[in-house]
Structure 1
Amino acid sequence: MAWQGLATEFLQVPAVTRTYTAACVLTTAAVQLELLSPFQLYFNPHLVFRKFQVWRLVTNFLFFGPLGFSFFFNMLFVFRYCRMLEEGSFRGRRADFVFMFLFGGVLMILLGLLGSLFFLGQALTAMLVYVWSRRSPRVRVNFFGLLTFQAPFLPWALMGFSMLLGNSILVDLLGIAVGHVYYFLEDVFPDQPGGKRLLLTPGFLKLLLDAPPEDPNYLPLPEEQPGPQQP
């Protein structure tokens, strides 16, 4: 019964958050069970572009290391802030949310080439936290009961805690930088004199992921009354 309750609750989580979290957990479980090796998942431009192992462009965002405190810490932040974005500023805009993932992922891979970074899931987490924090500047955050501060300080607190866990500070800085680029292009630049939206979600994503808009001129048919029906 407990498992059924957890499954029911998980299915109520928005689709993008549910899909990404499940993919991360299943990938880590497969590595833990030795069905996959991290060497099959990490980003390697030579293997991607010369050997056509294109799945590495995705799998490097799904593996956060072996099961342990660091993994659960990352999953907590992925699930919480991905869900808060999807249920908040991206509510009813699933295509735009997926496009944010795609934009961030592509930019991280391009910048990651400069730093020889092999796994970028932590950077994507930092990006999600950064975008949420800039869109919720007045929210006060309690950081594991230790510190309380305004939301814009959260990415830096997360980076400091991640460093204490032995993770590379470069990965978090990459995520914060990409998050700032997205936030500036999406939320700041369009409101500047002469500014405009540069990040336009492709139409095919909207067709695939968003519900079609309702026609404001549509008038529903009157409800049928019980009784003899005309052929």
Structure 2
Amino acid sequence: MAYRTFRQEYLHMPVVTRAYTTACVLTTAAVQLELITPFQLYFNPELIFKNYQVWRLITNYLFFGPVGFNFLFNMIFLYRYCRMLEEGSFRGRTADFVFMFFFGGLLMTIFGLFVNLVFLGQAFTIMLVYIWSRRNPFVRMNFFGLLIFQAPFLPWILMGFSLLLGNSIIVDLLGIAVGHIYFFLEDVFPNQPGGGRLLKTPSILKVIFDSPEDDPNYNPLPEERPGGFAWGEGQRLGG
């Protein structure tokens, strides 16, 4: 019964969230089983551009370290906020969601050339959290049952938590910076006098990912509650 429940939940996940989280879990499993090593995955510009090991542009986003608290923490937040975005503000706009992945990944890769980071998956998760939090500013968050705050503070709370664990905050700052750039270009600048949309999803992505049969009247799950995890649980003000 538990197996069927997990299988149904897995198949019910939206396609991009399912693909990305599955790739992260499988990559970590392959490292744990010693089928591959982190040295084959990490971001190294010299190996990418001189030795043509272009897979590193992707694999450095798929490995979050060995199985442990840090890995589980990142996976839960990745799953939760990636799914909330895909089922919420990106519902019926899978191509736009994929384009956001490409845009965020490109910016992080460029910034990664200067900040000497070898794995960018955690920064990418923070980017997703930041975009969701700015699009849901009135959601009240309950972090570990200890702190109650509104959603836009969540990325900064996570950065402080990371600092308490002894991790570098450069990763979190990178995710916040890239998330803010996307949010500004997509949600803020188009609504300014003289502004407009600078980010336009390529037609080829729309052909591949967007289904014309999507029901525009579909009522998605509330964006702040896709998975039932208590960490970072949200509730809208007045709700």
TM-score normalized by structure 1?
A: 0.91
Note the 1:13-92 alignment, pairs <5 A. Answer: 13-92=13-92
SS in 1 for 2:201: coil
> Is the Cα–Cα contact under 8 Å of residues 70 and 165 in structure 1 kept in the other structure?
no
Larger RCO, structure (CA 8 Å, separation 6 or more): 2
Letter in 2 for 1:207: V
In structure 2, distance between residues paired with 1:9 and 1:190 = 37
Residues of 2 paired with 1:167 and 1:19: CA distance? 27
Aligned residue pairs, count:
214
* 1:124 matched residue in structure 2: 124
1:93-108 pair list within 5 angstroms: 93-108=93-108
What's the secondary structure of 1:141's corresponding residue?
Answer: strand
Deviation of residue 164 (structure 1)? Answer: 2.0
1:167 aligns with 2:128: no
Tell me the distance in 1 between the aligned counterparts of 2:12 and 2:187: 29
User: Aligned-pair distance for 1:145?
Assistant: 0.9
Separation of aligned partners in 1, 2:96 and 2:34? 36
Question: Which one has a bigger Cα radius of gyration?
Answer: 1
User: What is the rounded CA distance, in whole Å, between the counterparts of 2:120 and 2:136 in structure 1?
Assistant: 25
Say whether the 8 Å CA contact 1:131–1:179 is kept in structure 2. Answer: yes
Distance 2:120 2:160 in 1: 17
Deviations 1:2-38 (A, max 9, x none): 2122011111010111111111111011101111100
With 153-162 and 164-173 compared, the bigger mean Cα shift is at: 164-173
Q: Distance in 2 between matches of 1:162 and 1:23?
A: 24
Give 1:139 shift: 0.2
CA RMSD, aligned part only? 1.0
State, as a whole percentage, how many aligned pairs show the same letter: 72
Partner of 2:194: 194
SS at match of 1:75: helix
Shift of 1:166: 2.6
Q: Deviations over 1:36-92 (max 9, x none)?
A: 100000000111111111100000000000000000000010000000000100000
C-alpha distance in structure 1 between counterparts of 2:21 and 2:66, whole Å: 15
Q: Which amino acid aligns with 1:28?
A: T
Q: CA deviation at 1:146?
A: 1.0
Q: Distance in 1 between matches of 2:204 and 2:46?
A: 30
Q: Note the residue ranges of structure 1 that are not aligned, 5 or more in a row.
A: 215-231
Query: Distance between the aligned counterparts of 1:182 and 1:125, measured in 2?
Result: 14
Structure 1 stretches of 4+ moved >3 Å: none
Q: How does 1:201-212 map to 2 (within 5 A)?
A: 201-212=201-212
Q: TM-score, normalised by structure 2?
A: 0.88
The aligned counterpart of 1:145 is 145
Partner of 2:157: 157
Distance (whole Å) between structure 1 residues aligned to residue 149 and residue 205 of structure 2: 37
- In 2, the alpha carbon distance for the partners of 1:160 and 1:205 equals 37
Tell me which residue corresponds to 1:136.
136
Give the AA of the match of 1:25. Answer: V
Shift of 1:162: 1.6
Letter of the 1:164 partner, please give it.
L
1:213 offset after TM fit, Å? 6.4
Quickly say closer, same or farther: Cα 1:183–1:64, change in 2 above 3 A.
same
* Gap runs ≥5 in structure 2: 215-239
Instruction: Answer yes or no: is the 8 Å Cα contact 1:85–1:132 preserved in 2.
Output: yes
